[in-house]
Structure 1
Amino acid sequence: MKKKLLLLEDDIALNETVVDYFENLDYEIISVYNGNDALDAIYENNFDLLLLDVNVPDINGFEILKSIREQDNTTPAIFITSLNSMSDLESGYDSGCDDYIRKPFALKELKLRVESILKREFFHSSDTKIEIDQNIYYDTANDILNVDNQDVQLNNKDAKLLKLFLQNKDKLVTHETIYETLWEYGEDISETALRTYIKNLRKLLGKEKIVSIKKLGYRFTTK
């Protein structure tokens, strides 16, 4: 499953260069050139990470991130900017960013920062394998589930659902959160399809791992 990035950068040449670089690395990347389009894209898509230039038309990167954080959007974010004062750095982190890279930068450095945050966002560890049970683990680097030493390639929505559960172990995950994560803006949400995805994961992980909370959602249990 490709990781999906948003790039907000008003420098056309840099925007195109970053897009080409990450597409060649097999990322899906949507690029915009102003703050309003960035907010629209964030509303309409489920991104794995945001790359936000600060000084852009309409709404600056700091304000964009501050706004979505206030709406409980926790998508990790890296600011890309030429600003370099300590107060600017503090403003960036105060608005909720995960990292900060100054222009000019090497594309490989940006790549390494993106990869580091995507790993941390998933399981807050440098390891790429997250253990689900004694004989089951999920390979976050390749989005592959391993059961009894056999690799299982999950379909797109099964993988998204498992990732969501692993990020929220032993917590209630509401139906609304699941719908927002699994279905893109404009897609028809299907309760029947969700039940199928739950059934698929239970078959692989064990029925007891995913507890149904009546009328509210599900809880992925590690106990």
Structure 2
Amino acid sequence: MKILLLEDDTLLHEIIEEFLEELEYETVSTYDGQEAYELIYEQHFDLLILDVNVPSINGFDLLKSLKANSIDIPTIFITSLHTTKDMETGFNAGADDYIRKPFHLSELKLRIDNIKRLRKIESKEEQKINDEISYNYDLKAIILKDEKFQLSKTEAKVFEYLLKHSNKAVSIEEIALNNWVYDEAPTDTTVRTYIKNLRKILGKDSIINIKGVGYKLEL
């Protein structure tokens, strides 16, 4: 699991970074909002831990900008902003969680573990989709009526993103932006090919093409 840590308090930054590394998370650190923004476009991250009052771009505006560009990365705000209004602003920006400073590191671990569970990050679980279909995150396989269909690594990324957002239509651009760094993203044609392959397994009506919007998983 790869985490981006944005925190401009040097001491707290070092404490959190060391804690995350002890938990065996790959951690990329920055003290500046603009640098964080650029790193997110250059690398793939599974989780963002963002302070709010940081140089260049504050954490709230950073996350709003990402969401506006269809980049959906699980995010925890860690901030000294304590009011209910501040918390509301954080969640409205698109945060998954909000931790008020000061906090115990054990609380941060609990929040990370909860996001991993909810977002199926590094999950080894088998998710039941309906009476006939389930998906094994560890094996990267769709199980349909007791028959296992092994997905390629890239097909699995596409399917897992559609599954995570099965209640809404997502564009090809959104799928690409959230699963690959910019210069490694597959072409639109390639993503459509993966979706075609998934339809062969799940049925042609399983992934609906919503004209002008994108694709929606319906199982």
Q: TM-score, normalised by structure 2?
A: 0.74
Match of 1:98 in 2: 96
Match of 1:109 in 2: 107
**1:68 aligns to 2:66 (yes or no):** yes
Match of 1:40 in 2: 38
Match of 1:56 in 2: 54
Q: 1:11 to 1:143 in 2, by over 3 A?
A: farther
Q: Which runs of 5+ in 1 are unaligned?
A: 123-127
Matching residue's letter, 1:6:
L
**Partner deviation per Cα, 1:111-150 (whole Å, 9 max, x = no partner):** 221222243346xxxxx6532343432245x474351557
Instruction: Say whether the 8 Å CA contact 2:206–2:218 is kept in structure 1.
Output: yes
Matching residue's letter, 1:79:
F
The alignment-based identity, stated in percent, is 45
Q: CA deviation at 1:160?
A: 1.8
Instruction: Say whether the 8 Å CA contact 1:48–1:76 is kept in structure 2.
Output: yes
1:22 to 20, 24, 29: 20
2:178 to 181, 205, 218: 181
Q: CA deviation at 1:35?
A: 0.9
Q: 1:27 to 1:162 in 2, by over 3 A?
A: farther
Distance in 2 (CA, whole Å) between partners of 1:195 and 1:69 is: 23
Q: 1:168 to 1:63 in 2, by over 3 A?
A: closer
Figure out how many residues of one structure are paired with residues of the other and give that number.
215
Q: 1:132 to 1:207 in 2, by over 3 A?
A: farther
**1:119 aligns to 2:117 (yes or no):** yes
Match of 1:194 in 2: 191
Match of 1:145 in 2: 141
In angstroms, what is the RMSD of aligned CA positions?
Answer: 3.5
- Tell me, what secondary structure is at the counterpart of 2:178? helix
Instruction: Say whether the 8 Å CA contact 2:33–2:56 is kept in structure 1.
Output: yes
Match of 1:125 in 2: none
Q: 1:24 to 1:154 in 2, by over 3 A?
A: farther
Q: 1:91 to 1:196 in 2, by over 3 A?
A: closer
Distance in 2 (CA, whole Å) between partners of 1:131 and 1:81 is: 37
Q: 1:75 to 1:188 in 2, by over 3 A?
A: closer
Q: Which runs of 5+ in 2 are unaligned?
A: none
- Tell me, what secondary structure is at the counterpart of 1:173? coil
Distance in 2 (CA, whole Å) between partners of 1:44 and 1:15 is: 22
- Tell me, what secondary structure is at the counterpart of 1:54? coil
